[in-house]
Structure 1
């Protein structure tokens, strides 16, 4: 039985514990419930773009969405994880889905999964189906889906994509995806469809990605650095690629977004292959106005980024190195235990003058002491070890000697979420 009076928070708490594993890759169970809901009877939307990769997925989705809206199209995006509110995961024309929309979707899914024979679904699988139900209800011109983990066996992959984007391939989630880059590439390429289009959004993807596309019979494969590319000049960038029918296409003097340009170029190529050709003014309008929480997000002297692996940390370090030089810069670092902390510290070290390490609690957490060992081993100075991200923020905030220093907060979505909550309370005069 479903509880029609349950709030969104109550539903989310229930979903966290209803399945035996937090991550359970495979499509059979989620596809069965999707069939019961009628979600596989027809395409999810007139245009569907799916985005997989190790880093840059959220940025790419956000830029595709912003450009689509600038072209006057209606859109629904599905992304994960969220920072402060679950509602962030489903955005309708740029606005978060309401509690009522999400609860109504969860109630429908619960009835469908409990029909005989009952099917067990994970938190992410249920959320993916909820997003799909909202997409169907909204009937947008375009749906943009971010793959959660991997690609081939991710719940998002029950829906066919007209355009599949693979942003980057790097080592991450090794417990689920392994450590063979070629195998990881093939798994993420699994979101491609025969007869569809694919965008390869990195210059250093393993050969397995393009090989899979060829074996599958993907109609159009656009690769960064060959089929499409960009170059920058005077704070703007020029882009060239191919249109949906294969003819060359150029967009010049575009405003640069505050997000990786490889992802911006890939977003444009994906949108064009979906049959949408924005002009220079529309792209610049979209990129100038676009901000993405937790991606080089600046709030006063605080810079927040969800970077949690070496590839992402390297990008953050390059952005900081190319920006204004502060009096000093602290890194507030808190990471999960299954991430490559040594390499993240190594990537950030050239732009960091001192470190504050914080503990993340829980089964996947990592202690401040463990991080501090890695910082010290790399030659860094650990200024403080905190029991939590909030404690670290308070220590930095109250340390008058550091009042003029810039603070980079990074290491995980959990870290940035805690920092945003603390900064919000601080701005409202609430004791954090």
Structure 2
């Protein structure tokens, strides 16, 4: 690529067109390029925590980052996908990576990819390797890596984590992972390593996750057993233990506005990474943490990227805990390969009226297709819109003062509304 076309936008366009499929699970290609880049020659950070699961990864990563930074650590965080800008995927010391760092990573990946027999990489694989290159250059005390849709065969898994976290297991991405929860659990547990802590962040994980850990000899630290959360007069209490096994308790922690199971999991993973939780730092971190697109309130609009029944059930429960005097309207847009019927069923108890919106692209689903599913259930439809942006504009002109809106169903749905509002994903109400 010439200097004239070496912008981040040009690199992303090239990567999108470089591989015949978007998702190509397997480690042989990406591991060889990582080896050529020297990413396997030594640690990319002082400590590495990897986080896999179906739901809850993003919030767990966000809280890990906030907790680590509150304890004075230099951090690097890699997540996917992004909402508005590719730069969101890599954060260095709490700030989005700049274009130069990302481009340098892509250049390093390209040089290694062509150093010998050329190797084809997907957009995600090249982005992951580029991020790991930038993380190694940054040399943080702690790197927090969110695993993609898989686990065992995911590009992030070329790195051996010091602590591996599995949040939840549910049916999603069936075309790649199948519908069998035990099989999905084995795939997600592929990030575990022998003799390194495995933090299990749900009390309802398939048995295959623990079985994989035990077969590897990875010490299991499970929610409800090795660590737990409990109510407290001023917030909640975490009970867990440090890396050496000494028990710890932190009382009076604030509600971060994110799942408390994930908050407890983040605290336990941090402690097992050798970072002793300091009460004041933990309270400060959990009070200030924010994650765009996850129960993100902007006035009376709530935006959440949840796109499977498990996530939708959590959303419905949180909305029920926060009643309003008016209607709850769901602006719903979903991809064609997602379980829209399951999502609608899970949300229905908390939703009074619906506005289905269309999503474009090869995997898109039209508003009419969603409307047909809603009508078949006898749900109340306010109308339909061709896009999330059009739906948000239509709703904004018709809401009653006491109404609220849930924007959900896909990253694309939330991103479409945020883009239409023309503000940073982390800013306040429109």
Moved more, 237-246 or 148-157: 237-246
1:245 and 2:247 aligned: no
Instruction: Give the structure 2 partner of residue 284 of structure 1.
Output: 283
Instruction: Give the structure 2 partner of residue 406 of structure 1.
Output: 404
CA distance, structure 1, for counterparts of residue 226 and residue 354 of structure 2: 42
- Kindly provide the CA deviation profile for residues 5-26 of structure 1, in whole angstroms up to 9, marking residues without a partner as x: 4211111111111011100001
1:265 and 2:292 aligned: no
Please report how far the alpha carbon of residue 243 of structure 1 lies from its aligned counterpart in structure 2 after TM superposition. 1.3
Instruction: Give the structure 2 partner of residue 180 of structure 1.
Output: 180
TM-score by length of 2: 0.97
CA distance, structure 2, for counterparts of residue 113 and residue 8 of structure 1: 18
Gaps of 5+ in 2: none
Whether contact under 8 Å (2:324, 2:402) holds in the other structure is no
CA distance, structure 2, for counterparts of residue 126 and residue 402 of structure 1: 47
Q: How does 1:362-401 map to 2 (within 5 A)?
A: 362-399=361-398
1:68 and 2:68 aligned: yes
CA distance, structure 1, for counterparts of residue 282 and residue 318 of structure 2: 22
1:315 and 2:299 aligned: no
Q: How does 1:130-209 map to 2 (within 5 A)?
A: 130-209=130-209
Whether contact under 8 Å (1:235, 1:256) holds in the other structure is no
1:109 and 2:109 aligned: yes
Instruction: Give the structure 2 partner of residue 361 of structure 1.
Output: 360
Question: Are residues 385 and 426 of structure 1, via their aligned partners in 2, closer, same or farther at CA, if it must alter by over 3 Å?
Answer: farther
Whether contact under 8 Å (2:166, 2:188) holds in the other structure is yes
Whether contact under 8 Å (2:326, 2:400) holds in the other structure is no
Whether contact under 8 Å (1:409, 1:415) holds in the other structure is yes
Secondary structure at 1:383 match in 2 = coil
Please report how far the alpha carbon of residue 380 of structure 1 lies from its aligned counterpart in structure 2 after TM superposition. 1.1
- Kindly provide the CA deviation profile for residues 230-272 of structure 1, in whole angstroms up to 9, marking residues without a partner as x: 0123451101112111221111111111100010000000000
Please report how far the alpha carbon of residue 384 of structure 1 lies from its aligned counterpart in structure 2 after TM superposition. 0.8
Instruction: Give the structure 1 partner of residue 48 of structure 2.
Output: 48
Please report how far the alpha carbon of residue 360 of structure 1 lies from its aligned counterpart in structure 2 after TM superposition. 0.4
Please report how far the alpha carbon of residue 403 of structure 1 lies from its aligned counterpart in structure 2 after TM superposition. 4.6
Moved more, 311-320 or 369-378: 369-378
CA distance, structure 2, for counterparts of residue 229 and residue 425 of structure 1: 38
Question: Are residues 157 and 398 of structure 1, via their aligned partners in 2, closer, same or farther at CA, if it must alter by over 3 Å?
Answer: same
Please report how far the alpha carbon of residue 77 of structure 1 lies from its aligned counterpart in structure 2 after TM superposition. 0.2
TM-score by length of 1: 0.96
Question: Are residues 215 and 2 of structure 1, via their aligned partners in 2, closer, same or farther at CA, if it must alter by over 3 Å?
Answer: farther
Secondary structure at 2:248 match in 1 = strand
Please report how far the alpha carbon of residue 114 of structure 1 lies from its aligned counterpart in structure 2 after TM superposition. 1.3
Instruction: Give the structure 1 partner of residue 303 of structure 2.
Output: 304
Secondary structure at 1:385 match in 2 = coil
CA RMSD of aligned residues (A): 1.5
1:27 and 2:27 aligned: yes
Whether contact under 8 Å (1:397, 1:403) holds in the other structure is no
Question: Are residues 68 and 425 of structure 1, via their aligned partners in 2, closer, same or farther at CA, if it must alter by over 3 Å?
Answer: closer
CA distance, structure 1, for counterparts of residue 403 and residue 234 of structure 2: 26
Instruction: Give the structure 1 partner of residue 91 of structure 2.
Output: 91
Whether contact under 8 Å (2:164, 2:197) holds in the other structure is yes
Instruction: Give the structure 2 partner of residue 416 of structure 1.
Output: 414
Please report how far the alpha carbon of residue 388 of structure 1 lies from its aligned counterpart in structure 2 after TM superposition. 0.9
Please report how far the alpha carbon of residue 108 of structure 1 lies from its aligned counterpart in structure 2 after TM superposition. 1.5
Secondary structure at 2:362 match in 1 = coil
Moved more, 72-81 or 377-386: 377-386
Please report how far the alpha carbon of residue 426 of structure 1 lies from its aligned counterpart in structure 2 after TM superposition. 12
CA distance, structure 1, for counterparts of residue 232 and residue 357 of structure 2: 40
Please report how far the alpha carbon of residue 423 of structure 1 lies from its aligned counterpart in structure 2 after TM superposition. 1.8
Question: Are residues 2 and 116 of structure 1, via their aligned partners in 2, closer, same or farther at CA, if it must alter by over 3 Å?
Answer: farther
Gaps of 5+ in 1: none
CA distance, structure 1, for counterparts of residue 200 and residue 424 of structure 2: 42
Please report how far the alpha carbon of residue 86 of structure 1 lies from its aligned counterpart in structure 2 after TM superposition. 0.3
